[in-house]
Amino acid sequence: MVILIASDQSKVRRGLADRLREMTGQKVLTAASVAEMETMAVAEGALDLLLFSPVFSIGGKEARARLRERYPELLTVALVDGLSLDQLVTLVMQWLPAVETISRGGAVVAEPEGGKLESLGDYDLIELLRTTDRTLIYKAVQRSVQREVALERLRPELATQPAAAREFRRMVRASALVSHPAIAAVYEAQEADGEIFYTRELVRGKNLTELAADRAHFPQDVLLQMLLTTAEAFTWMQEHQIPHDPVLPAHLYLGSNGTPRVANIAQPEGNGAEESAVAMPVLAEACLRLAEPRSGKTRELSHLLGLMKARGPHAVNSWKQLAREARQGLQRLAEAHTSLLPESRDRQLARRRLQQKQALLVLAAVAAGWAVVSWWRQSSRAKVRDVADMVLIPAGEFIFRDGQKRTLSAFTIDRYEVTLADYSAFLDALPHGEPNRFDHPDQPGAKTGHLPRDWAEVTAAARAAGKWKGHPITLNAPVFNVDWWDAWAYARWKGRRLPTEEEWEKAARGPEGHLWPWGNEPDPARANTGSDYSDQPSTGGQIDGHAWWCDVDAMPGDVSPYGVAGLAGNVSEWTGTLVPDPDLPDLQVPVFRGGDFHQTVPVPLNVSPWLAKGALYSQPFLGFRTAAPPSSP
C-alpha cells in the first residue's frame, strides 16, 4: 500500500508519516503543497490512500479528481485541524480497514467516489457527511419515493449495546417532537438486521462555520434574518419544553435559495432553557465574520451583535429578546428601502399635483407676508429662546424594555435637549487656567478640552440662522458632535448629571409604557427621524419637515405623557449608564438612547440601548439632556 500525506503543517506531515511507517510497514510519502501532492503521486506510479489537511480541501479538489482518474481505487480522507498527533494516528489506523470504523465526529471524513456506499432497508447511502462519537450521518436516497434525506445511524459496534441503543431511541423520539418550519423534520425511524437508524430532512446549503471557511460575506439583512429565524426556532423549542444541545454556528444553515434553516438538535435531556446566554456571543462572532466589509450602513447588524456579546442587564441573552431585536432591525431596513423605491406613475402624478398646489399657496403667502416672515426669521429663529425648563418625573413603578416592571425614585429631567446656545454658555464659563475643573475623574489625559468637532463653523452658522453643510441651523438646535466626557462635564457644570437609561426610558414612555412618546403607533410626521433623511438638503425633509436637526422645540408631536420633548427624534441622547464593552469586558462603554434624524423610522422606546464604541464616540446625530433630584433647580 502507498500512502500520501499532504499537509501544510510540517509537524503533522512528518510525525504522522513516521508513525504510520512504524505501525503499518507501508510506504508513506509526504507533500507540503497541492502541486507537490499531485507531482509526487504521479511520479510514484501508485497510490492507495491520500490523507490531506483542510487547507487542501478546496484548492486541491481538482488535483484529487485527477488522481482518482489515474488511480480508480484511491481512497481519500480529510484530516481536521486541532487534534494531537496521537489522536490523528489512532483515527487513521481505525479508518484503514473500512470506512464504517471512522472514529471521531468530524475528525476524519471519507470523500465519496460516486455511486452508493451500501443500502439500509429502503435507503441507499450515498455519502458520509459527518460522524459523532455515537452515530454516522449520511446523505441517502429513499428508493421508493426518490427522496434525498439525511440518515443518522447508530454505530454498528454500539447497536448491540442495550444502553447505547436505548439512548439513541430516546434521542430520536426527542427529535421527532420538533415541528417547526425552520427546523429539519424527522421522517421515520427503523430497526432491521441489527441496525438502528432514522431519517430526517436533508438541510441543503452550508452552515455558518462552512461559510466562514469559504470567506463568504453577506449583507446585514441576510444575517439579521438568519438570527431572527434561529431565535424564533429556539423560542419555540423553549415554549414546548424540548431540551436540545448547545446551539453552535455549525447548526445554522443558509440554504442554496438563501433561506435560513436550523439543524434538529433536540435531545431527551439538556439545558436548553439556560444555554441561550452562552450561545449569543458565539453566534455574534460567527455573524461578524460573515458580515460584509463596512462599505455602507451596517448600524442595525452591528448594534445587535454588540448587544449579543454584551454582559449584564443590557445584553440580549434570550431567544425571545433576540427575535424582537432582529425583527425590529429588519423592519427598519425594509422601511428605509421602501422609502427609496421609485413611485408608481399614478402616485407621481398625484404628488406633483399636490406639490403644485402647495407651491402656489407658499408663493401667495410669501408675496403677502414677506415682511412678517423676515421679521420672524430674525427675531424668532436667530433669537435664543429659553428652553431650560425641567420636568418632574414622579416616583413609582414603570415599564422597562419588553415588559419588565421597575421602580424609580422621583427625579427631574430637561424638557428639551441641550442646545447649541446652552453648550456655548458652558464653554464660555470654563475658568481660564482651569479648563478641566468639571472633567470626569476617568477622562483620558489626551482629552484636554470640551470643544466639539467643527464648533466654530457650526456656531457661526447657527448665530446667523444660516446653514451648516447645507442644512438650516440655529442656536436653538441641539448640541451635537459631543462625546460622553463632554456631556458629563456639562451636566456637572450645571450641578446635575446625565440621566440613567432607566430614567430616560421612564420619562419617554410614561406610566403606560408607550412604544413611542405619543402612543403605540408609529407616526414619522410627529418626530424628526430619518424617514426623510438625506445627505442632500434639497431632497430631504418631505415627511417631518427636517432633513437633519431642528430646533429642540420644533416638533410638538414628539412629547411624552410627562411633557418631555424630542425623545423619538432629532438627536439620540447620552445616558449616564455604563455597560461592559462587548469586545473588551474589562472596559466600560456608555449607553445612548432614542431616535434621531439619521435613523430610518421612529424607533420604539422599548428597544435595547445603543452601545457606543467608547466614551470618545461623537456624531452629528448624538446629543444629550441632563437630570437631577427633584429639589434641584
> Which H/E stretch holds residue 128?
strand 123-131
Distances (CA, A) of 298 to 217, 289, 329, 379, 610: 13, 14, 10, 42, 13
Per-residue pLDDT band for 420 (boundaries 50, 70, 90) equals: very high
Q: Which pLDDT does position 106 carry in this prediction?
A: 33
pLDDT per residue as tens digits for the range 354-377 = 555 554 544 444 344 433 334 334
Q: Which pLDDT does position 452 carry in this prediction?
A: 93
pLDDT over 80 at 197, yes or no: yes
Q: What average pLDDT score do residues 238-254 get?
A: 86
Residue 157 to residue 102: CA distance in whole angstroms: 11
**Which is more confident, 409 or 534?**
409
pLDDT over 60 at 166, yes or no: yes
Q: Name the most confidently modeled range: 17-26, 271-280, 361-370, 525-534.
A: 17-26
DSSP string for 352-404? HHHHHHHHHHHHHHHHHHHHHHHHHIIIIISSPP----EEEE-SEEEEETTTE
Q: Which pLDDT does position 415 carry in this prediction?
A: 94
Contacts of 569 (CB under 8 A, 6+ apart): 527, 528, 529, 544, 555, 558, 594, 595, 596, 597, 602
Q: Which pLDDT does position 434 carry in this prediction?
A: 67
Q: How big is the CA angle at 161 (ends 157 and 166), to the nearest 5 degrees?
A: 120
Distances (CA, A) of 31 to 7, 58, 245, 334: 6, 16, 39, 52
Residue 597 to residue 569: CA distance in whole angstroms: 6
Residue 89 to residue 86: CA distance in whole angstroms: 5
- The answer to whether 209 touches 286, Cβ cutoff 8 Å, is yes
pTM above 0.85, yes or no: no
Residue 574 to residue 589: CA distance in whole angstroms: 11
Q: Other CB atoms closer than 10 Å to residue 584's CB: what's the count?
A: 10
Number of helices and strands in the chain (H, E): 17, 25
Average pLDDT, the chain: 79
Q: Where are the alpha helices (DSSP H) in 133-273?
A: 156-159, 162-176, 208-213, 220-239
> 277 is written with which cell numbers?
446566554
Q: What average pLDDT score do residues 308-323 get?
A: 81
Q: Name the most confidently modeled range: 43-57, 300-314, 612-626.
A: 612-626
Per-residue pLDDT band for 490 (boundaries 50, 70, 90) equals: very high
Q: What percentage of the chain carries pLDDT values higher than 70? A: 79
Q: What average pLDDT score do residues 199-208 get?
A: 85
Q: What average pLDDT score do residues 150-155 get?
A: 91
pLDDT over 60 at 562, yes or no: yes
Q: Which pLDDT does position 343 carry in this prediction?
A: 45
Q: What average pLDDT score do residues 43-47 get?
A: 87
Q: What percentage of the chain carries pLDDT values higher than 90? A: 18
Per-residue pLDDT band for 57 (boundaries 50, 70, 90) equals: low
Contacts by residues 186-193 (CB-CB < 8 Å, ≥ 24 positions apart) = 186/264, 187/149, 190/120, 190/121, 192/120, 192/121
Q: Name the most confidently modeled range: 116-120, 151-155, 205-209, 404-408.
A: 151-155
Q: Which pLDDT does position 499 carry in this prediction?
A: 95
pLDDT per residue as tens digits for the range 98-150 = 333 322 233 333 444 445 678 888 898 888 877 777 888 888 999 888 888 99
Contacts of 492 (CB under 8 A, 6+ apart): 438, 440
